[in-house]
Amino acid sequence: MLKILLARAHQGHRTMRYPKGPAPAMPAHFRGMPKIDAARCPDDCRKCEEACPTDAITFAGGKPHLDLGRCIFCPECEAACPEKAITFTEDHRLSVRSRADLQVTPGEELRLATALDGKMKSLFGRSLKLRVVSAGDCNGCAADVNVLGTIGWDLGRFGIQYVASPRHADGLVVLGPVPQNMRLALKKTYDAVPEPKIVIAIGACAISGGIYAGHAEQNDGAESVVPVDLFIAGCPPHPLTILDGLLRLLGKIERGR
């Protein structure tokens, strides 16, 4: 017992101090919020659009526009641009309330997620139970969702917990593009959650179908089956990105931060 106590004292505080603490250092290979510098975009150059594997980049007015819901955060567009007009920053904040808000235009900032309305916030602000639905995901998003329950993140300190039954849940976390054999299962799971309820789509697949978008065997994400209240972009999103989105939804982080 003495050895256990000494080891615990030696380890110190392992839980991340978020959101009030200093911003954690992101890993060297992390790719966060893309930045488009339209002034550096060459005329009649569409190399970034041609390089994008998910058609996340389109052109309007001769300038690139990026759909974060389709973006898989690969570096292909960044590598293809001769003027480096598109770069990936270290900004981990990638959650929004509306699918339309994931459209990134040059010179405009992402409209980060706002909190639930008064009644919903009062219900879920201190205790939120979520049922995770794996709807054809590759386990990348699932790994980062699950890691939030470990000591380094301790999701439970915010009153957020994952539950085994939708009947015990306040809402759903949906992962994956929702293949045909999961469409009915997702709908039944949603119906089993008591009212009022929320749905959170995590990752490119759950938002738009990701790399599977347009395939007949899947449904291009959760919103084709159930209403979605929070979209968290990424492929997969970093655990901090997911945590940030959840806390914004509960009003624990203000929009300007």
For the chain, how big is the Rg over CA atoms in Å? 19
Give the alpha-carbon dihedral of 80, 52, 111, 128, to 10 degrees: -130
User: What pLDDT sits at residue 255?
Assistant: 61
52: left (phi over 0), alpha (psi -120 to 50) or beta: beta
Give the alpha-carbon dihedral of 176, 177, 183, 189, to 10 degrees: 30
Question: Any idea what the CATH number is for the domain that residue 125 is in?
Answer: 3.40.50.12280
Question: 189 and 80, same structural domain?
Answer: no
pLDDT of 13 > 70? The answer is no
Confidence of residue 10 (pLDDT cuts 50, 70, 90): confident
Q: Is residue 60 part of a domain?
A: yes
Residue 218 and residue 178 in contact, taking contact as beta carbons nearer than 8 Å: yes
Tens of pLDDT along 91-110?
Answer: 999 999 999 999 988 878 89
Question: 138 and 223, same structural domain?
Answer: yes
Residue 213 and residue 72 in contact, taking contact as beta carbons nearer than 8 Å: no
Question: 228 and 163, same structural domain?
Answer: yes
pTM above 0.95, yes or no: no
Please state, rounded to an integer, the average pLDDT across all residues of the chain. 92
Question: Any idea what the CATH number is for the domain that residue 79 is in?
Answer: 3.30.70.20
171-175 and 198-202 strand pairing: parallel
Q: Is residue 74 part of a domain?
A: yes
What's the number of domains the chain is made of? 2
Residue 133 and residue 186 in contact, taking contact as beta carbons nearer than 8 Å: yes
Q: Is residue 101 part of a domain?
A: no
Q: Which residue has the tokens 């979209």?
A: 231
Of all residues in the chain, the percent with pLDDT exceeding 90 is 71
Q: Is residue 21 part of a domain?
A: no
Question: 194 and 76, same structural domain?
Answer: no
Q: Is residue 6 part of a domain?
A: no
Question: 226 and 134, same structural domain?
Answer: yes
Residue-number span of the structural domain to which 187 is assigned: 118-249
Q: Which residues sit opposite 198 in a β-bridge?
A: 171
Average pLDDT over residues 137-151: 95
